[in-house]
Amino acid sequence: MEELLFGKLTWDSVIIVQEIEDPNLNTFITAGAAAMIPIGGVMIVALLWWLKWWKPLISWVTSVDHKRIGVMYIIFAVIMLFRGVVEGTLMRLHQATAIDGGFLSADHFNQLFTTHGTNMIFFVAMPFLIGLINIAVPLQIGARDVAFPKLNQISLGLTGAGGFLIMISLLIGEYATGGWTGYPSYNGKLVNPGVGPDYWLLSIGLSGIGSTLTGVNFAVTIYKMRAKGMTFMRMPLFTWTALATSILLIFAMPPLTACCAMLGLDRYLDFHFFTNDMGGNLMNFINLFWMFGHPEVYILILPAFGVMSEIAPTFAAKRLYGYKGLVAATMCIAVLSFMVWLHHFFTMGQSTTVNAAFGIATLLIAIPTGVKVYDWLATLWGGRIRFTTPMIYLCGFFILFVLGGFSGVVLANPTLDYQLHNSLFLVAHFHNVILPGTLFGILAAIHYWFPKMFGFRLMESWGRLTAGCWIFGFSVTFLPLYSLGLKGMTRRTVDYTDPSYVPLMIVSGVGSLFLSLAFLFLLVTFWRSIVNRKKLAVPFGDPWDGRTLEWWTPSPAPEYNFAVLPEVHSLDAFTAAKEAGTAYDPVEKYEDIEMPSNTYYGLIIGILVSAFGFGLVWYIWWMVIASFLGCIGTMIAYAFLPQRENIIPAEEVRRIDEAWRREARETQGITRDEESNETNKGLARPDILPSV
Amino acid sequence: MIDLPILLAVADSFLHPIGPVAEEQLKHLNFVMLITLIAIIPPLVATPVILWRFRRKKPTGTYRPNWDSNPILESLMWGVPLIVVILMGISLWKITFRLDPYRELSDAPLKIKVIGLDWKWIFIYPDEKVALVDELIVPEGRAVEMILTTDTVMQSLRISAVVGQIYAMPAMTTKLNFIAAEEGEARGMNTQFTGEGFWKQKFPVYSVTDEQYNKRMEEARKSSLSLTPETYAILAVQGTSEEAKKPLGIADQVGPITLLLPEVNFFERVLARYWANEPMTPETQPGSPDYDPTKSTLPPAPSEPMMKM
Amino acid sequence: MSESKTESLHPGLNLGEEHGEDHLEAETSVFGFWVFMMSDLVTFGMFFIIFASSVTALAGGPGPKELFNLGSVAWQTGFLLLSSLTSGMAVLSLKQEHADTEVPRKKLILWLLLTALLGACFLYREIADFIDMAANGGGPTRSGYLTALWSLVGLHGLHVSGGILWCLVMVVGVMVRGVDRRWKLAILRWAIFWHFLDVVWIAIFTFVFLGGLI
């Protein structure tokens, strides 16, 4: 009877019970982390009740507004980043002391590197980037929302379901230990029959479906919903990279869904996709996984490149250099990213011809990447550079990211990969491109677009300190790993025996403390900015003298984005309007605006899919069936429910918009000298910059 | 956590190679790094220069807000990396073929068959009729060809100072060819994560004179243990080779386990396990938490070759 | 967005300008669905690749010669191809007779139900075949080849089941709510889905069934 109700779940599955029964430092750490979940949950509920924030919360989680969905993705990512940074720091600290045994058990360490990688890629980096794309793209193309707002909400729900699974694994059960790549047959049913690999494949498989749908959504949005006059070659670069990312999502996520499903069939139904025996072939998983995995890393970097393309011109007060070249490079990277996946397993024993061919393809993809970096530097050439927080991240990127590219070129050679594969050199390489590339791009973008979402800037002082701390922390933590990798230290190793590794391990451990500090400073940045939001308010909407359409609307942006959809005649349409003096001219005709209304659809799907995943992990079949039928039922029900829409009457639109335009015409803006002051209300005065 | 002896003065990385393959790899690394610098140095130098010249507060460069293209610069930006990639591509193609791990380095290399287990390696010398556990000994200067498989999950055998690594997988074979040119000791290890004892899966590689090699083989042939399905089943239990000594009945023996090889085709029998068209069960699959050595059997050696990588 | 109401707004059968706003709305909706189908094609592609690499992985078990019933496969192909035709007739009926929602819906519903019925016949034969294969020792757990076979064909069958359910929901929707914009767009998208499944089936019966017996 119990098995029918609870499947494999027992009291012993709960980590806290394990700690009570068998206390030691190792389980204390795990139980402590696990306990944060119920405690955190209770605290959040209490906080919401005390502040009476239930209604706003409901209005947010039922919203289909791309801006709110984007912000929710980012909040989710920040929470998961907290977990990811803690996991990373724990590993670095453990390895700094591992020559004497370290303080973590092998099983704990093995789960840590698995959850760290899985979490950071699927539940930190991707939600951050999808969140930024959500926030910025419809505004940049002059649209009111994405093509399929309800689908957008469902994608968020699915991502949340994946996040739920990886978080609940902290409290109930355990996670996989096979790394974020989860190769069988280690992750197969015979060698690892526990719940860990099931949590792994379900958390990434289910959230992956959400990402595929996001790709579809934004590809259609960018193709079909651009403002009048915005041809492809007049789109901002961030939108171009969002388009490339969407194409990658559409074509690269299915292989992941497929190989997770296949692994699931192997584990649950004794199929023989990847088993050692009966005709299974584990190499198929590896091929499928990396057919996803390589484009995935370009999904992670392309939006960050897009952000750099926005930051450089804005904060150097000049046009982006090489627009056409950047577009071409972006599309080259997108196409080439599907042709290099084998470089993740040069050492698997395939023929030299195959290895050499993929090695050359990998070298080729370095060319457009390099062009992009040169183009951004050329953008700064001839400019007037302001060292705001986003610019500091860009500088860190210039110096550090090229080192990551350097090590990537080294690894592209099969000959060298035979030595360096699976070593800390590899670990250093991918952190070197993800932190200075993806993370710095994300953090720069947060500073850049935060005012557009919330109506006030983030504090520059804390922002710059945070940036410096990330740059320093990254360098101290990861650059030593190159040396260790060359000296032969392997990855995913809980302990080691060579005492010559110790000094650099300690340096790296100290560095990880700076990374933790940097994360803390990030939170402080948010907190102090919220406290000082009145002083930092930028209601006119253009705090940076921006060039693209998203700055041509008040801050925070109204639900419908633009009172009247803009018409563009060139690149950098907003700058053109400001230079012509027509940016805030009165508008003649206002119309009623129809916006989709709130819905519970995404939330319901998110909850049902979470239950579906949890039920599958623990073999609770009634939960699996009920949630699956529930999803079908929900979809059918919503097909019949009347589609309500929110109509904002033309009068109200006129009232708000006319007031904004009138005030903008009548107020004196600021020059860039005042950009970080209280006087910056989001209105830009033409900045007369001397030639030399 | 530490029951492995700390190995000092052991060649462990290809930065100090003791074999021609690793030497060439090191040379290639230097070449690649040098030539890539052509593409890397410009941004590293340009960044501080540009930030200084064009800073807002006291700029020294002309302000050109609308400058957004220059054909010469475009040609250089696309062209120079392209040339670098072409040069590197040619070098990559040639050296990838020259250092193909499957390419035999002489006419009659010493053949060693390797079985990876959790968390130890069995090195079978079919010509010498012995097997060593967690010890690889080769005559210096002699070409060696290793043929690898595992009986658990995917592993990766790496001897950095000599040749690098190759994956080893159950039901399949891979090959690694190398020469240890100098006398000395190197370290080999598994670099593909296989579970809790993964970090312990390291072994010494001894490159010795022919005399010493033959002496070691003689010693090994005096072993009281043979590589039979029963001893193999015990070796396949999860643990290091040290931990395997007690169940094998040689708890007091110092030094690596050595075994006689009554069956030359033992390696093929382990491979054949996955081609026997009988499903593996938790009891018979080494590496599974329910593995039971008493239930583990090996099929007879196959008459025809099976799938090979 | 397009300027004229007469041009073709998306690949496939367009509603046409008589449908007014519905025709314009279809552009984004149907285009989006084509894009989603591309991702589904990749998913099928992955199962195809695995199948292709597993054709020799029989592990001593039964293979195509022992298990395939070409006659049944022929029937299945016939049912599915015919159902593609009837689904096309449904969309034609939608286009020609439903520019407004007042016109009787019988023809549309008839074609939809016929498609669902043919799809059900397809599934019935397919499931019967699967049961036969399992009875002959050809279940999905027998070998890598059979795993790949069952998964690929099974994935297609799951899609067909989904398509039939979708079709029945639309029939109910059209009966209850009339042929309004929502159901028109749904029918257009469903038709793309149904044709897509037909194309995948052609690949399956060519490479899996016919190819297996060569």
Domain ranges within chain C, ordered by starting residue: 26-213
pLDDT exceeds 60 at position B259: yes
Q: Radius of gyration over alpha carbons of chain A, in Å?
A: 25
Structure tokens that stand for A487 in this block: 């000296």
pLDDT reported for residue A642: 87
- Under CATH, what is the fold of the domain C26-213? Four Helix Bundle (Hemerythrin (Met), subunit A) (1.20.120)
For residues A183 and A186, give the distance between their C-alpha atoms in angstroms, rounded to a whole number. 6
User: Would residue A350 be called left, alpha or beta, if left means φ above 0 and alpha means ψ between -120 and 50 degrees?
Assistant: beta
pLDDT reported for residue B11: 72
pLDDT reported for residue C188: 95
pLDDT reported for residue A493: 93
The low-confidence residues of chain A, meaning pLDDT below 50, are none
Chain B contacts in chain A segment 334-393 (CB below 8 A)? 345, 347-350, 352, 355-356, 359-360, 363-364, 366-367, 370-371, 373-375, 377-378, 380-387
Cα nearest neighbour of C150 on chain A = A271
For residues A222 and A234, give the distance between their C-alpha atoms in angstroms, rounded to a whole number. 12
User: Would residue A565 be called left, alpha or beta, if left means φ above 0 and alpha means ψ between -120 and 50 degrees?
Assistant: beta
Structure tokens that stand for A161 in this block: 């379901």
Q: Which of A106, A190, A323 minimises the CB distance to B68?
A: A323
CA distance B239 to chain A (A): 14
Strand order of the sheet with strand B202-208?
B136-139, B202-208, B184-190, B155-159, B164-168
Q: DSSP assignment, residue B109? A: P
Q: Kindly state whether B277 is in contact with chain C, defined as any CB-CB distance less than 8 angstroms.
A: yes
CA angle A197, A203, A207 (to 5 degrees): 150
pLDDT exceeds 70 at position B6: no
Structure tokens that stand for B92 in this block: 């990559």
C65: number of Cβ within 10 Å: 8
Phi and psi (nearest 5°) for A482? -60, -50
pLDDT reported for residue B185: 92
Side chain identity, residue A181 = T
Residues of A in contact with C27 (CB under 8 A): 224
Predicted confidence (pLDDT) per residue in B140-155, tens digit: 999 999 999 999 999 9
As a whole number, mean pLDDT of residues B186-194 equals 95
Q: Where are the domains of chain A?
A: 53-534+546-674
Strand order of the sheet with strand B143-150?
B174-179, B143-150, B110-117, B120-125, B130-133, B258-260
Place of tokens 């069934």: C209
Q: What is the ipTM of this complex?
A: 0.94
For residues B75 and B22, give the distance between their C-alpha atoms in angstroms, rounded to a whole number. 38
CA angle A586, A589, A590 (to 5 degrees): 100
Give the E-state strand segments of chain B in sequence order: 110-117, 120-125, 130-133, 136-139, 143-150, 155-159, 164-168, 174-179, 184-190, 202-208, 258-260
Q: Kindly state whether C138 is in contact with chain B, defined as any CB-CB distance less than 8 angstroms.
A: no
Q: Kindly state whether B304 is in contact with chain C, defined as any CB-CB distance less than 8 angstroms.
A: no
Q: Which of A419, A422, A486, A487 to mutate to test the interface with B (most CBs of B within 10 A)?
A: A419
* Reported confidence tier of residue C15, pLDDT bands at 50, 70, 90: confident
Q: Which of B172, B274, B277 to mutate to test the interface with C (most CBs of C within 10 A)?
A: B277
Structure tokens that stand for B275 in this block: 């081609």
For residues B155 and A632, give the distance between their C-alpha atoms in angstroms, rounded to a whole number. 43
Side chain identity, residue A610 = S
For residues B215 and B205, give the distance between their C-alpha atoms in angstroms, rounded to a whole number. 16
pLDDT reported for residue A287: 97
Q: Does domain A53-534+546-674 fall into CATH 3.40.50.410?
A: no
Question: Beta B110-117 vs B143-150: how paired, if at all?
Answer: parallel
pLDDT reported for residue B147: 97
pLDDT reported for residue B230: 94
Predicted confidence (pLDDT) per residue in B40-93, tens digit: 999 999 999 999 999 998 899 999 999 999 999 999 999 999 999 999 999 999
Q: How far apart are the first and last CA of chain B?
A: 36
For residues C118 and C194, give the distance between their C-alpha atoms in angstroms, rounded to a whole number. 12
| Count of CA atoms in the C-beta half-sphere (13 A) of B153 | 25
Q: How far apart are the first and last CA of chain C?
A: 50
A554: number of Cβ within 10 Å: 22
pLDDT reported for residue A13: 86
pLDDT exceeds 80 at position C38: yes
> Would you say A245 and A129 are in contact if contact means Cβ atoms under 8 Å apart?
yes
> Would you say A192 and A245 are in contact if contact means Cβ atoms under 8 Å apart?
no
As a whole number, mean pLDDT of residues C20-47 equals 93
> Would you say A327 and A233 are in contact if contact means Cβ atoms under 8 Å apart?
yes
For residues A432 and A406, give the distance between their C-alpha atoms in angstroms, rounded to a whole number. 10
pLDDT reported for residue C62: 94
- Distances A423 to A183, A466, B224, B253, C137 between C-alpha atoms, Å: 17, 30, 38, 34, 45
What pTM value is reported for the model?
A: 0.95
CA angle A439, A441, A445 (to 5 degrees): 115
